[in-house]
Amino acid sequence: MKINFLHIVVFSALVLFGFSFSGKKFSDPNKEKLLIEVVKYVVEKGHYKSVDINDNISEKIYNNYINQIDGQKRFFLQSDLRQFEKYKYKLDNQLKDYDLTFFNLVFETSIQRIKEVKSYYNEIINSKFDFSFDETIDLDYENKTYARSKKDIKERWRKQLKYSTLDVISLKLGDSIDIIDEETRDESMLLIKKNTDDFFQYVEEMDRDDWFANYINSFLNQLDPHTVYFNPDEKDKFDTNISGKFNGIGARLTKTEGAVKIVDIIVGGPIWKDKLLDIGDIILKVAQEGKDPVDIIGMKLDDAIKLIKGPADSYVTLTVKKITGDINEVLIKRGLVELEELYAKSTLINKNNKNYGYISLPKFYIDFSDKKSRNSANDVKNEIIKLKNNGISGLILDLRNNGGGALQTVVDMTGLFIEKGPIVQVKSTGNRKQVLFDKDPKIIWDGPLVILMNKMSASASEILAGALQDYNRAVIIGNEKSFGKGTVQNVIDLNRFISNSTYDLGAIKITTDKFYRINGESVQLEGVKSDIVIPDSYKYIFNGENDEKNPLEWDKIDAASFEKWYNKDFVNNISLKIQSQIDNDDYYSLINDRAKWLKDRQLNKSVSLNFNSYNKFLNQQRDKNKKYESLNKYENNLSFKLLKAERQFIMSNKELLNSRNRWHRNLTKDLYVDEGVKVLEILSSLEKNSELLLVNNQK
């Protein structure tokens, strides 16, 4: 079953201007019908692109929803599909009439089929699989037909569980053993049973609201890939992700075998500061101040988390089962928890007795409810100042895997590197255009600058990289192009449209605008093309926004007026020199070769369930993979050092020091950083010798 809940902030740039509705209010005792009415209203009034809700859209909603629920075709029968298909071209009318007939039918059928499979999957796992039998499993789910009978469903589950077990067995045995021993078989089947139990527990914890959110998103997915409905729980996760902080105890939790377990303790959080709990502890009960404890065993994880989280400075008492088996009551004062892994951080790179700065920026974060709190633009500014105090000769800003965030922080951040001028153009419905400017003439870093990107760098990342590329202010190093998401979203609280209701409808993240580079080009689908292209192992598998369903089209508008920083030929000459070295390097050629191999592996949809045949296939793949082992041994010979301003604090904290050392070790294996330093060496050398010509006398 493919349950596709979109609950993290990815590829979104959020605007803070020019978006409003009338004061229209809705009221309906039926929450689901009310939600449809409000969502339709917001889409009709606010979405960038008007879409007719017709039979064509109805068919797409139908296909999307059925695929979300049973994309691997292991639950529904052909007879179910015949019932469902009666509504394939009627969903447009049902949405208009707030008719829930189709949703109810699919929901009830899904619950029934899930219960049926759950009733016998243990029987399948507990029966000993015969791995000497010659049979195959077809993994081409897209072209597979639905099962004709419950017997066929059971057979599909048998093969799927056998395949999963075989995969675990092969991982345990490696490439040196040709016979499955009983202990390995039993351990592997036990692991698969646990994973399957966890899956069904997750599905069973989904309530009707969760299923209905999926249905609403099947409609919204037809507008564009980034218009998404958030139920109240998903909205909370969105807020945490975009701000990088929340109020709570400072632990990451998971649900396993019905119990809520601590899997990570967040550095800086309440339980980390007071060393109150440990990874592996199981939380049994939760008690608020002055109230009786609530048993959370078997409770839905999101509901348990709601009980544990709470306002800063409030208290919660947890009944905890320790790894030792002891059961303790622990009183915890909740506090602000900051997710440091989402925040900007920097380090010094030393090469040939020269220091260069490196800043990692995982996302463009801001707390919309507290504008005075930390945000990515201010944090990057502070990191640059600290790096300058360490005498850097150049700066690398790493935006790899940065999926976006708050638009205003991009404008502010780009302004750190230029005197003043336009940063991005935004076009709304009705072709209304607004140009966002950096109006502050102060420059925080005027030296050599490199931006690192990859195919997962999207939206806000593409705005910053595109603007600095248009100004010839930075050299962009990365994959052929970035993700290619050129749209802007607003998050709208749906509760503002309802009256006299106790419902919490959640929110909708809706595409309201498109953004354009200052040269007039959209990054939609096309992305930002790198000045220096580094091949990666997934270049033939993943293609960014082009892989999404229903993306908006690419277009172009008039360019804004701006003055360039470097002479363009100068930047091109540096890029051509480094690119020539990359194109003629055996190491990079090997990366490209592996990318082709991975693409070929992806096309293999038929897998043998005979152990000897499967093991033979894996050994062939292992032999092929040995050709690429050198790629995992790469080291760049750069030296990474703590900044003077943070050295004493980090050195005095064991967890922070270990975290920073791990980060530095990973950076020594990073070829992007190595190429970035090579570019900075050229730029700083030319600058020192006064050979760097500026077009607009900014130095």
> How far is 39 from 26, CA to CA, in rounded Å?
11
Q: Which residues contact 632 (CB under 8 A, 6 or more apart)?
A: none
Dump pLDDT digits (tens) for 24-35.
777 777 999 999
Mean per-residue pLDDT of the chain: 89
Mean pLDDT along residues 569-585: 89
Dump pLDDT digits (tens) for 391-420.
999 999 999 999 998 888 999 999 999 999
Per-residue pLDDT at 94 exceeds 80? yes
Per-residue pLDDT at 340 exceeds 90? no
> How far is 26 from 35, CA to CA, in rounded Å?
10
245-338 to CATH, choices 2.60.120.10, 3.50.50.60, 2.30.42.10, 3.20.190.10 = 2.30.42.10
Mean pLDDT along residues 219-231: 95
- Whether 244 contacts 365, CB under 8 Å: yes
Per-residue pLDDT, 18:
43
> How far is 523 from 477, CA to CA, in rounded Å?
17
Per-residue pLDDT at 694 exceeds 60? no
Element of type H or E holding 259:
strand 259-265
- Whether 426 contacts 460, CB under 8 Å: no
> How far is 410 from 460, CA to CA, in rounded Å?
6
User: Which of 78-92, 419-433, 523-537, 685-699 bottoms out in mean pLDDT, i.e. has the lowest?
Assistant: 685-699
What pTM, to 2 d.p., does this model score?
0.89
> How far is 234 from 216, CA to CA, in rounded Å?
14
> How far is 205 from 629, CA to CA, in rounded Å?
43
Radius of gyration, alpha carbons of the chain: 27
> How far is 100 from 113, CA to CA, in rounded Å?
20
> How far is 680 from 699, CA to CA, in rounded Å?
18
Contacts of 611-620 with CB under 8 Å at 24 or more apart are 611/131, 611/132, 611/166, 611/169, 611/180, 612/132, 612/178, 613/134, 614/131, 614/166, 614/170, 615/170, 615/175, 615/178, 618/170, 618/175, 619/175
Confidence of residue 170 (pLDDT cuts 50, 70, 90): confident
Mean pLDDT along residues 144-169: 94
Per-residue pLDDT at 55 exceeds 70? yes
> How far is 271 from 258, CA to CA, in rounded Å?
23
- Whether 527 contacts 655, CB under 8 Å: no
CATH number 3.40.1360.10 is the correct assignment for the domain at 342-490+516-584+635-688: no
294: β partners? 286
CA distances from 577 to 440, 495, 570, 574, 679 (A): 35, 56, 11, 5, 10
- Whether 37 contacts 501, CB under 8 Å: no
Domain ranges of the chain: 245-338, 342-490+516-584+635-688
> How far is 539 from 596, CA to CA, in rounded Å?
8
User: What is the β-pairing status of strands 259-265 and 251-256?
Assistant: antiparallel
- Whether 486 contacts 523, CB under 8 Å: yes
User: Which of 191-200, 205-214, 563-572 bottoms out in mean pLDDT, i.e. has the lowest?
Assistant: 563-572
Per-residue pLDDT at 697 exceeds 70? no
Per-residue pLDDT at 557 exceeds 90? yes
> In the chain, what is the straight-line distance between the N-terminal and C-terminal CA atoms, in Å?
59
Nearest to 242 by CA among 336, 374, 436, 335: 374
User: Which of 134-148, 169-183, 604-618 bottoms out in mean pLDDT, i.e. has the lowest?
Assistant: 169-183
Angle at 195 between CA 250 and CA 190, to 5 degrees: 125
- Helix 55-70 to helix 208-220 angle (10° resolution) is 140
Confidence of residue 228 (pLDDT cuts 50, 70, 90): very high
Dump pLDDT digits (tens) for 325-337.
889 999 999 999 9
- The number of CA neighbours under 13 Å toward the Cβ of 649 is 5
> Tokens in use for 509?
């993240």
- Sign of the C-alpha dihedral computed for residues 529, 535, 538 and 540 taken in this order: positive
Per-residue pLDDT at 106 exceeds 70? yes
Per-residue pLDDT, 648:
87
> How far is 596 from 590, CA to CA, in rounded Å?
10
Residue keyed to tokens 């209701």: 501
- Helix 101-126 to helix 182-205 angle (10° resolution) is 160
> How far is 106 from 104, CA to CA, in rounded Å?
6
> How far is 98 from 94, CA to CA, in rounded Å?
6
> Tokens in use for 650?
């980090």
Per-residue pLDDT at 177 exceeds 80? no
Nearest to 314 by CA among 248, 246, 237: 248
Per-residue pLDDT at 13 exceeds 80? no
- Helix 31-46 to helix 208-220 angle (10° resolution) is 20
- Whether 309 contacts 255, CB under 8 Å: no
- Whether 103 contacts 212, CB under 8 Å: yes
Q: What length does the chain have?
A: 699
Mean pLDDT along residues 499-511: 89
> Tokens in use for 596?
């082709």
Q: What are phi and psi of 681, to 5 degrees?
A: -60, -45
Q: Which residues contact 32 (CB under 8 A, 6 or more apart)?
A: 100, 103, 212
Confidence of residue 185 (pLDDT cuts 50, 70, 90): confident
Q: Give the 3-state DSSP-derived string for 400-421, with helices as H, strands as E and coil as C.
A: CCCCCEEHHHHHHHHCCCCCCE
Return the DSSP state at 144. Answer: P
> How far is 20 from 17, CA to CA, in rounded Å?
9
CA distances from 670 to 476, 632, 663, 664 (A): 16, 10, 11, 10
